[in-house]
Amino acid sequence: MIRWDWIFDNLDQIAASVAEHLILTILAVWIGLAISLVAGLLIYDRRRLYGPTAGFFGILYTIPSLALFAFLVPITGLSLTSALIGLVSYTLLILLRNIMAGLDAVTPETREAAEAMGLSRAQRLVRVELPLALPVIVAGIRVATVTTIGLVMVTALIGQGGLGQLMLRGFNRSFPTMIYVGFVLTVALAIGLDLLLAWIGRVATPWARKGPG
Amino acid sequence: MPVGRRYGVSTMDGTRRAATVDFEHVTKHYDAGAITTGAPGAVTDLTLSVPAGAICVLVGPSGCGKTTSLKMVNRLIEPTSGRILLDGTDVAARDAVELRRGIGYVIQQVGLFPHQRIWENVATVPRLLGASLGRQRERADELLSLVGLDPAVHGSRFPAELSGGERQRVGVARALAADPPIMLMDEPFGAVDPIVRDRLQNELLRIQERLAKTILFVTHDIDEAIKMGDLVAVVDVGGRLAQFGPPAEILAGPASDFVARFVGADRGLKRLSLARVRDLTPLPVPMARLGEPARRAAADPLVRDQRFALLVDHEDRPIGWIADRELDRDGGITADMATPMSPLLDPETTLKDALSMLIDAEVLAGIVVDRDGRATGLITTEAIATWLRPSGVSTATSIEAAS
Amino acid sequence: MDIVSQTVGWLADPANWQGSAGIPSRLVEHALLSGMALAVALAVAVPIGLYVGHTGRGGTAATNVAGLGRAIPSYALLLLFFPIFGFGLVAPLLALVLLALPAILANVYVGLRGVDRELVDAGRGMGMRESEILIGVELPAALPVILAGIRTAAVAIVATATLAALIGGGGLGRFIVDGFALQDDGMLVSGALLVAILAVVVERGFTLAERRLVSPAVRAGSTHLVPLA
């Protein structure tokens, strides 16, 4: 059933799809991270804002992807912009929650010591609290990335590329091989990125692994 | 055993690196609605002055505002009214962040940054002040050695790899890194076991000998206060100053019922730990030398008076006691004539430990010996008890009366 | 603004509320598909999760399955099953069940594992049978986590069921797909709106149910023994 010859003949097309998929995913997660970080740092000292912000991000998250893209299409058309807006929206809740949880995990005594030693608010956030929040934030980035990979597939419906496009064309032409290839590569991409991020997270936080010597 | 301290003196020209602290009518109150259990206590009209280079201990029951008072010095908490002066300058007049870089701060849970190595932690304030990486490392190594940690072993570790006692040493090192003129310590040794605590206290006293910093030390433990403080401020609930003075003064004359109760019913015994054997005037020892003709020793007026003689060797080192009737014979004195000995007391031994030793040995007098082991005098339990009595009236000075 | 009037116009049109292509029918289709998928997923995942969570055996396998499940995009599953099962309900149903399984399994497992061991030992010490411990002690304590997992799965199912329209299934997704194909922005956005509302309603509904079902003492966050006096 699987047409291996087709696969070998079209490796470049397949590779291009993977590349498109990857780029879209990374772009969406980066933008989402930037927005969530800014939001998180702004909200962190003003807890009353957290409820509404998280609520808003939460609604964006609950709306089924197809619906969200459908909302966007009449406004921003079948473009990369629509896709990115939708993709970024889905990452916001996860990332924001993890950023807040990560920052919250910093112990009170560490905070007190940092303040007492004469670090300004900005210095405390950047030099102490964010680095310590990193493990939790990285966990959030992993979930957001894997979720986004899945969602990039849906963007194929609004004309974007990636492996979703591959699967969709296979579907339209009743050519199962493309569907299978797209599926397997999507899963492989998801697992691969997840492991890569996990490794990066471990390397960036050497202190988290140490116990009493 | 901690050596006696005199504050304001240091071998490293420490006095110029120590600031004076003045509390002037400092008050902090919280809204009634904001009071919750475990919240910081209020402070009422606190006024006291701490001279440069002294350790001032703020001691009192939980919630009495001692921690609040401490935190008002580095402005982690702002007073409702009143002011705090460091070397004569109001702390409120200075930028808070900059102020804190010049104040060492040590807390019970230490608060080391888990994501940084030990040496990075220690070098935190020097780094903030712009020291080069090399200088940071240098300073960190210097301070780690000062607090008794080998920089080669611990410097590159992470806080999670150290024990509680080691972490607190790092905390102290970190606080000293920028050579601040004042240190604030909030129950720094409360989270470690008593053995480690004792060691850390002694280390701090040793360091203080060298650096002579002004230290404000908060504790709820009156014994720690007496041991560590040059000056002790006893604080009552509500942040009221109940008494302020050297530990001996507080123990000898509590200013109120509260202070008396807080110090404890055993304050007499506590006072004993403040004085040492060398603070007492020892009684002269009736001595008899090994090999000396017995009758000559018996003729010694002191021996005749006390009816006992301490047998010593030719270096004046004690061997044992001989009753004067044993000396009534011909020939030289030999070792087997002596009965077992009283405890030997080093002049640095606290009176509390000395009394303890005498009680354990079930004797009423101990022999004071110098560094070479030579007998220099006698201390009786009676003499110790007399020292305790404020009027200092003694009722007996003889061994016989004491036996 | 044109979109808004188109949408409002489409929703206001009574014709769109009748018949087999009307809003109510599509809603029912959507709900049925989602409900069936959830039911099947629960029927499969819960017993397995209970066993693995109570005994602790197979924990790593369960966690790995859950992790893997997250990596597989829902849309991909739909497209994958289509060549095998063709049009109809089977492909979407299977895809939705497989989508929900890992989430439910993971939460049941984690929820049970999170119950304080002392509670379980106390139960055993009192002579309760394993099944009694599971139902009477562990399940109530693990309920918040389990229900949260079911809620996540339900929302995911409702969301993905939208995509079922792509392979000829019914449900509210049809409005989006058809609106797209017919270039009818009113239908498109209305469909999206309806789907969004449904998803939010399901999410809120489950959250409320959780609040009702979980006893206040457990919700206070503790599944630990409270010392007497």
When pLDDT is averaged across residues B343-351 and rounded to a whole number, the result is: 84
Structure confidence at residue A48 as a pLDDT band (50, 70, 90): confident
**Count of pairs with CB atoms under 8 A, one residue in A, one in C:** 112
Whether residue C155 has pLDDT greater than 80 = yes
Residue type, C83: P
pLDDT exceeds cutoff 50 at C226: no
Domain shared by B245 and B365, yes or no:
no
Q: Residue C71: is its pLDDT beyond 90?
A: no
Q: Count CB neighbours of B396 within 10 A.
A: 13
Label residue B79 by pLDDT band (50, 70, 90): very high
Burial A35-47 (b: 16+ CB within 10 A, else e): bbeebbbebbeee
Q: Which helix (H) or strand (E) holds A153?
A: helix A130-155
Q: What percent of chain A has pLDDT over 70?
A: 98
**CATH number of the domain residue A160 falls in:** 1.10.3720.10
A172 occurs within a structural domain: yes
Q: Six-digit token pair at C55?
A: 């005994």
Bridge partner residues of B380 (DSSP): B365
In chain A, what residues touch C99 (CB-CB under 8 Å)? none
Predicted pLDDT of residue A38: 92
**What pLDDT does A167 receive?**
85
Q: Which of B58, B57, B52 is nearest to B17 (CA)?
A: B52
- The answer to whether the Cβ–Cβ distance between A183 and C80 falls below 8 Å is yes
Distance from CA of C57 to the nearest CA of A (A): 25
Query: So what's the pLDDT on residue B177?
Result: 92
Residue B243 to residue B256: CA distance in whole angstroms: 8
Does pLDDT of B33 surpass 60?
no
What's the topology of domain C2-11+21-219? MetI-like fold (1.10.3720)
- Mean pLDDT of the region C40-48: 92
Q: Which pLDDT value is given to residue B392?
A: 41
pLDDT bucket at B403, cuts 50 / 70 / 90: very low
Higher-pLDDT residue of B215, C177: B215
Q: Within this chain, do residues B290 and B381 fall inside the same structural domain, yes or no? A: yes
In a domain, A212, yes or no: no
- The mean pLDDT of A47-69, rounded to a whole number, is 85
| pTM of the predicted protein model | 0.74
pLDDT, tens digit, for every residue of A144-154? 999 899 889 88
What's the rounded mean pLDDT across residues A6-16?
87
Please give the residue that has the higher pLDDT: either B400 or B186. Answer: B186
Q: pLDDT above 90 covers what percent of chain C?
A: 8
- C-alpha distances in angstroms, A189 versus A8, A25, A26, A144, B189? 19, 10, 12, 14, 52
C73 reaches A (C-beta below 8 A): yes
Tokens of A72: 């966007």
Q: Which tens digits make up the pLDDT trace of A94-149? A: 899 899 989 988 889 999 999 999 999 989 999 999 999 998 999 899 989 998 99
Domain at B314, CATH number: 3.10.580.10
Task: Give me the number of domains chain A comprises.
Answer: 1
**pLDDT value, residue A208:** 78
Average pLDDT over residues B219-236: 92
Query: Is B116 within 8 Å of B108 (Cβ atoms)?
Result: no
Nearest to C170 by CA among C11, C19, C41: C19
Q: Is chain B in touch with chain C: ≥3 Cβ pairs within 8 A? A: no
Q: Which amino acid is at B360?
A: D
* Yes or no, beta carbons of B174 and A213 under 8 Å apart: no
Residues of C in contact with A150 (CB under 8 A): 72-76
Indicate the residue of A66, A170, A191 with minimum beta-carbon distance to C71: A191
Inspect the interface and report whether the beta carbons of A167 and C68 lie closer than 8 Å: no
Residues of C with CB below 8 A from A75's CB?
3
Same domain? B211 vs B63: yes
d(Cα B354, Cα B364) in Å, to the nearest integer? 11
Is the domain of B55 the same as that of B95?
yes
Q: Domain residues for A127?
A: 4-206
The pLDDT tens digits of the residues spanning B301-326 come to 888 887 888 888 888 888 888 887 87
Closest C-alpha among B191, B185, B215, B241 to residue B64:
B241
User: Residue A108 and residue A120: Cα distance in Å, rounded?
Assistant: 16
Query: B209: domain CATH number?
Result: 3.40.50.300
pLDDT per residue as tens digits for the range C160-209 = 888 888 777 778 888 888 888 888 888 888 888 888 889 889 988 998 88
Lowest model confidence (mean pLDDT) among B231-240, C64-73, C142-151, C181-190: C64-73
**Does B226 share its domain with B261?**
yes
Residues B237 and B366 in one domain: no
Whether residue B141 has pLDDT greater than 90: yes
> Percent of chain B having pLDDT more than 70?
90
Question: pLDDT at residue B30 above 90?
Answer: no
Range of the domain at B233: 14-102+180-270
Query: Which pLDDT score, from 0 to 100, does residue B395 have?
Result: 44
Q: Report residue B242 CA to chain centroid gap.
A: 21
pLDDT per position as a tens digit, B246-304: 998 998 889 999 999 999 888 888 888 888 888 888 888 888 888 888 888 888 888 88
Residue B85 lies in a domain: yes
Residue C1 is predicted with a pLDDT of 57
Residue B390's pLDDT band (boundaries 50, 70, 90)? low
Q: Is residue A48 part of a domain?
A: yes
pLDDT score of C115 more than 90: no
CA distance B163 to B193: 11
Residue B337 has pLDDT above 50, yes or no: yes
Given an 8 Å threshold on Cβ–Cβ distance, is B107 in contact with A210?
Answer: no
Determine whether the interchain pair A74/C203 forms a contact, defined as Cβ–Cβ distance below 8 Å: no
Instruction: Considering only CA atoms, give the Rg of chain A.
Output: 20
Domain count, chain B: 2
Judged by 3 or more CB pairs under 8 A, whether C touches A is: yes
ipTM greater than cut 0.85: no
**Which residues make beta-bridge pairs with B287?**
B310
Domain locations in chain C? Answer: 2-11+21-219
pLDDT, mean of residues A25-36: 95
Looking at A44-48, A194-198, B65-69, C33-37, which range is the least confident one? A44-48
Comparing CA positions, the residue from B99, B201, C50, C73 lying closest to residue A166 is C73
- Note the pLDDT of residue A150: 87
Task: Single out the residue in B238, B270, B302 at which a domain terminates.
Answer: B270
| Conformation bin of residue B325: beta by default, left when phi > 0, alpha when psi is -120 to 50 | alpha
Is B400 a residue whose pLDDT tops 70? no
pLDDT, position C166: 77
Please tell me the predicted confidence (pLDDT) of residue B97.
92
pLDDT of residue B9: 38
Q: Is the pLDDT of residue B184 over 70?
A: yes
The rounded distance, in Å, linking the Cα atoms of B66 and B78 is 14
Q: How far is C119 from chain A (nearest CA, A)?
A: 27
CB spacing of C71 vs A187 below 8 angstroms: yes
Residues C63 and B131: their CA atoms lie apart, in Å, by 49
User: Is A79 in the C-facing interface, judged by CB distances under 8 Å?
Assistant: no
Nearest to C39 by CA among C102, C2, C93: C93
Mean residue pLDDT of chain C comes to 82
Share of chain C above pLDDT 70, in %: 93
β-strand pairing of B231-236 with B214-219: unpaired
Residue B184 lies in a domain: yes
Helix or strand run (H / E) with residue C58 = none
A48: amino acid identity, one letter? R
